[in-house]
Amino acid sequence: MTPATSTHCPYCALQCAMTLTPDVGGVTVAGRAFPTNRGGLCKKGWTSAELLSSPERILEPMLRQPDGTFAPASWEEALDLVAGRLAAGRAEHGADSVGVFGGGGLTNEKAYQLGKFARLALGSSRIDYNGRFCMSSAAAAGNRAFGLDRGLPFRVEDLGAARTILILGSNVAQTMPPFIAHLDGARKAGGLIVVDPRRTATARLTDDGAGMHIQPTPGSDLVLLLGLINIVISERLVDTDYVARRTVGFDALRRSVGRWWTERVQEHTGVPVWQLRELARRLAEGPGTYILTGRGVEQHADGTDTATAAINLSLILGLVGTEHSGYGTLTGQGNGQGGREHGQKCDQLPGYRKITDPAARAHVAGVWGVHPDSLPGQGLPAVELLAAMGEPGGIRCLLVHGSNVVVSAPNADRVRAGIAALDFLVVCDFFFSETAALADVVLPVTQWAEEEGTMTSLEGRVIRRRRAVDAPAGVRSELWIFRELARRLDAPGVYSANPAEVFDELCRASAGGTADYSGLSYGLLDTDEPAYWPYPAGSTGTPRLFLDRFAHADGLARIVAVQARSTDAPAQVGGTLTLITGRLLEHYQSGTQTRRVAELLTARPEARAQLHPATADRLGIADGGWLELSSERGTVRCRAEASADIRADTVFLPFHFAGDECANLLTDDVTDPISGMPEFKKTTVRVRALQEAGARA
């Protein structure tokens, strides 16, 4: 009998533990006991192994032909072509004409090697990744306040003992289903509070006992939080001892929130005054209070300030860095946490170091065996990187590893136009994603169960993802591809294709940095002992952060007073609504993977725009009927789903679909000035009914 392999799910940051057992019919998936999932998996996890043997899998390098079709090629031929074109592009237009786009699904080893490959082998500063769309606002806020960004600075299990949990803009019941078991304690105590413009599956969990669902206008969370801070201060609910001992900046905060009196907050957010007061009172009841944020409040042009306001509220209540309370953000992608630590961000070197810091450059250059001056400087954040495609002095060649940007980046039409203007696009993927379909070269890579690696979960725990099956003969690991390309490019430095060796190097490169992994090794991780970073050599890791001090030099947290910039809610007149975009249980991200799983596609074959029955009636749109949404950027046509679960001024569209149904045809590429996060969660759209015949004409 083939032995079972203990590993983790390929998808989200909960990194549910699973066992994979190969047999004649394929690979059997079973849930495995682990603190985050307690043996549970969601539908995506259960069906994940089907993709290993998908008939749509790319099994050979594919080269675009003069007639526009793809033809298979040998690895020699494909790699020679890619290296030749990259070298020529660099020689003619400079190293920064080559861009690299990474992903938060890559293992730590791949993310690390991608950053090194971009800086050393290509000599380009222009690398960034899809985590810019995902975690950047919360990460920026965490760095600013605490001096360190680890999504949850405590263990997921700690939530079990909470009496009150405030979830701001996250639908965990659909985005991380096994996570909701950790909310049981708060639910039983009547203390689960969910803030979401939609009555989601997560909001419904507040129905037990005395939980609360608060349904604000989209994008008004910053005002809501400023109002709550004002109540906490004026009703003397502040933990003054904690604020004095552990923070700086309270006075400026107090001065800044005075104008957000409750009636004014009600007017801007639509949240009644009584709910605001009740919410503030409950949060201050402690101990056992946690505040969690998700993409709903972070994916806005003021996302960093909104996350900062949530942190300020947590700090004045004395929640952060204690054994029984906390603040955290729910990281999304499988390696969303590790993916933001090892150097695929444009401003970053491994160990969560700043690329502009001379000491960091010297350390990392030492590990890489090059002179610090040979490392490029800071590059462009993701949205700017994509906008630079085809621009003068911009990107002419692009390598994509682990993202489907023509579906998932904002202002999709502009991204498509940018790609069309490139000289050369290389995509590494397992499938012809909508982005791979536009490439000049597609390099087929190994899937999660076919390679060794490590991932860092939403709680900062480094885990081993183990190989369970052999890869098909024609595909290669990304580490192998980096090595082969680096060799062809005569690159300085060593590029091992062995994940354990790359991990050892990553650990050395991270030593002394914020995200220090230097005490870790495959040997240690193979014991499955919990390993939370920072894990410096000689330590046993850090399950709970900030218990004694924050990561700023003086050990104190920064309360940073922030203001709401635009407080005018868009006018809801005629057919104008506020579009919010997000997720369905069955699909993952741009859908490249889950739209290829029959069970998931059958359950959710298409995008449906969720809108309130009263709004649908007013606009003459039938439940299940066709409608058109249009913004200044583009137009989407899809069917309607009438539901009283959404505010009447709001429409929701999932972003998992392509073609006419691609939500990002509508979104704008305006970004948060601090984090570079696009505004996925607030777009003004006009909505109108379509005759069925006209829909697809």
Ligand X SMILES: Nc1nc2c(c(=O)[nH]1)N[C@H]1C(S)=C(S)[C@@H](COP(=O)(O)OP(=O)(O)OC[C@H]3O[C@@H](n4cnc5c(=O)[nH]c(N)nc54)[C@H](O)[C@@H]3O)O[C@H]1N2
| Least distance from ligand X to the Cβ atom of residue 549, Å | 30
Tell me which stretch binds ligand SF4 (CB under 6 A): 37-45, 161-169, 229-237, 305-313.
37-45
| Least distance from ligand SF4 to the Cβ atom of residue 597, Å | 12
Residue 159 binds what, of ligand SF4, ligand X, Mo ion, none (CB under 5 to 8 Å, by partner type)?
none
Of positions 112, 154, 327, 588, contacts ligand X by CB under 6 A: 588
Residue 41 binds what, of Mo ion, ligand X, ligand SF4, none (CB under 5 to 8 Å, by partner type)?
ligand SF4
Please tell me whether residue 169 binds ligand X under the rule CB under 6 A.
yes
CA–CA distance from 83 to each of 89, 210, 461 (Å)? 10, 62, 36
Using CB under 6 A as the binding criterion, the count of chain residues that bind ligand SF4 stands at 14
Please tell me whether residue 589 binds ligand X under the rule CB under 6 A.
yes
The residue assigned the tokens 């569209």 is 653
Inter-axis angle of helices 221-234 and 250-257, to 10 degrees? 110
One DSSP character per residue, 426-495 reads: EEEESS--TTGGG-SEEEEB--GGGS-EEEE-TTSBEEEE---SPPPTT-B-HHHHHHHHHHHTT-SS--
The residue assigned the tokens 């004045």 is 316
Please tell me whether residue 592 binds ligand SF4 under the rule CB under 6 A.
no
Angle at 585 between CA 640 and CA 12, to 5 degrees: 140
| Least distance from ligand SF4 to the Cβ atom of residue 16, Å | 3
Residues of this chain, 90-119, that bind ligand X according to CB under 6 A: 103-106
CA-based nearest residue to 447, from 56, 3, 130, 136? 56
**Do 308 and 562 contact (CB within 8 A), yes or no?**
yes
What six digits make up the tokens of 569?
Answer: 């809610």
Q: Which is nearer to ligand X, 243 or 579 (CB)?
A: 579
Of positions 9, 138, 395, 665, contacts ligand SF4 by CB under 6 A: 9
Tell me which stretch binds ligand SF4 (CB under 6 A): 8-16, 230-238, 251-259, 575-583.
8-16
Residue 667 binds what, of Mo ion, ligand X, ligand SF4, none (CB under 5 to 8 Å, by partner type)?
ligand X
Give the list of residues 6+ apart from residue 555 with CB closer than 8 angstroms, or none. 548, 549
Using CB under 6 A as the binding criterion, the count of chain residues that bind ligand X stands at 62
| Least distance from Mo ion to the Cβ atom of residue 138, Å | 11
Q: Which is nearer to ligand X, 379 or 410 (CB)?
A: 410
Please tell me whether residue 685 binds Mo ion under the rule CB under 5 A.
no
Residue 15 binds what, of ligand SF4, Mo ion, ligand X, none (CB under 5 to 8 Å, by partner type)?
ligand SF4
Residue 128 binds what, of ligand X, ligand SF4, Mo ion, none (CB under 5 to 8 Å, by partner type)?
none
The residue assigned the tokens 């949060």 is 283
| Least distance from Mo ion to the Cβ atom of residue 441, Å | 27
HSE-up (13 A, CA, CB side) for residue 626: 13
Please tell me whether residue 206 binds ligand X under the rule CB under 6 A.
no
Of positions 20, 27, 34, 37, contacts ligand SF4 by CB under 6 A: 37
Of positions 63, 82, 122, 176, contacts ligand SF4 by CB under 6 A: 176
Q: Which is nearer to ligand SF4, 177 or 227 (CB)?
A: 177
3-state SS assignment for residue 278: helix
Q: Which is nearer to ligand X, 468 or 557 (CB)?
A: 468
Please tell me whether residue 332 binds Mo ion under the rule CB under 5 A.
yes
Name the residue type at position 242.
Answer: Y
Strand partners, 442: 62, 427
One DSSP character per residue, 504-563 reads: HHHHHHHTTSSS--TT--HHHHTTT---BSP--TTS---SS--SS--SSTTSPEE-----
Please tell me whether residue 151 binds Mo ion under the rule CB under 5 A.
no
Of positions 45, 104, 218, 288, contacts ligand SF4 by CB under 6 A: 45
Please tell me whether residue 675 binds ligand SF4 under the rule CB under 6 A.
no
The interface mask with Mo ion, positions 20-59, x = CB under 5 A, is ----------------------------------------
| Least distance from ligand X to the Cβ atom of residue 465, Å | 10
The residue assigned the tokens 């039983």 is 188
Could you tell me whether strands 453-456 and 576-582 are parallel, antiparallel, or unpaired per DSSP bridges?
unpaired
Report the distance separating Cα 616 and Cα 629, nearest Å: 13
Please tell me whether residue 590 binds ligand X under the rule CB under 6 A.
yes
Q: Which is nearer to Mo ion, 89 or 582 (CB)?
A: 582
| Least distance from Mo ion to the Cβ atom of residue 337, Å | 11
Please tell me whether residue 664 binds ligand X under the rule CB under 6 A.
yes
The one-character DSSP state at 14 is T
| Least distance from ligand SF4 to the Cβ atom of residue 172, Å | 9
| Least distance from ligand SF4 to the Cβ atom of residue 165, Å | 18
The one-character DSSP state at 296 is H
CA-based nearest residue to 460, from 36, 115, 66? 36
What six digits make up the tokens of 460?
Answer: 């900062």
Tell me which stretch binds ligand X (CB under 6 A): 229-237, 296-304, 318-326, 390-398.
296-304
Torsion-angle region of residue 288: left (phi > 0), alpha (psi -120 to 50) or beta? Answer: left
Q: Which is nearer to ligand SF4, 37 or 306 (CB)?
A: 37
Of positions 7, 16, 20, 335, contacts ligand SF4 by CB under 6 A: 16
Please tell me whether residue 133 binds ligand X under the rule CB under 6 A.
yes
HSE-up (13 A, CA, CB side) for residue 544: 14
Inter-axis angle of helices 273-283 and 262-269, to 10 degrees? 110
Tell me which stretch binds ligand SF4 (CB under 6 A): 36-44, 88-96, 428-436, 650-658.
36-44
One DSSP character per residue, 152-188 reads: -SS-GGGGGG-SEEEEES--HHHHSGGGGGGGHHHHH
3-state SS assignment for residue 672: coil
Of positions 168, 222, 232, 611, contacts ligand X by CB under 6 A: 168
**Do 86 and 117 contact (CB within 8 A), yes or no?**
no
What six digits make up the tokens of 589?
Answer: 């991200």
Q: Which is nearer to ligand X, 272 or 393 (CB)?
A: 272
Q: Which is nearer to ligand SF4, 43 or 324 (CB)?
A: 43
* Contacts by residues 532-540 (CB-CB < 8 Å, ≥ 24 positions apart): 532/155, 532/459, 532/460, 532/461, 532/462, 533/150, 533/341, 533/456, 533/460, 533/462, 535/462, 536/511, 536/512, 537/511
For binding to ligand X (CB under 6 A), which residues are involved? 12, 103-106, 130, 133-134, 168-172, 174-176, 195-198, 200, 218-219, 221, 294-297, 299, 332-333, 401-404, 407-408, 428-431, 433, 445, 478, 580-583, 585, 587-590, 592-593, 652, 655, 663-664, 667, 680-681
For binding to ligand SF4 (CB under 6 A), which residues are involved? 9, 11-12, 14-16, 37, 41-42, 44-45, 176-178
For binding to Mo ion (CB under 5 A), which residues are involved? 134, 332
